[in-house]
Amino acid sequence: MRVFEALNQMRNQLPLERTGSSYIETLQYEFSEYISLLNDIDDVDFNALFRNEGSPIIIDLTKRKFISFIKKVQQT
With 60 as the cut, is the pLDDT of residue 7 above it?
Answer: yes
pLDDT of 51-72, one tens digit each? Answer: 766 555 556 678 888 888 888 8
Name, in order, each residue with C-beta under 8 angstroms of 51's C-beta and a sequence gap of 6 or more: 60
Contact between 40 and 67 under an 8 Å Cβ cutoff? The reply is no
Tell whether the torsion through CA atoms of 73, 36, 4 and 64 is positive or negative: positive
| Predicted TM-score (pTM) of this structure | 0.67
Does pLDDT of 42 surpass 60? Answer: yes
Q: How many domains in the chain?
A: 1
* Cβ atoms < 10 Å from Cβ of 58: 11
DSSP-derived 3-state class of residue 44: helix
Residue 50 domain boundaries: 3-75
- Is residue 26 helix, strand or coil? helix
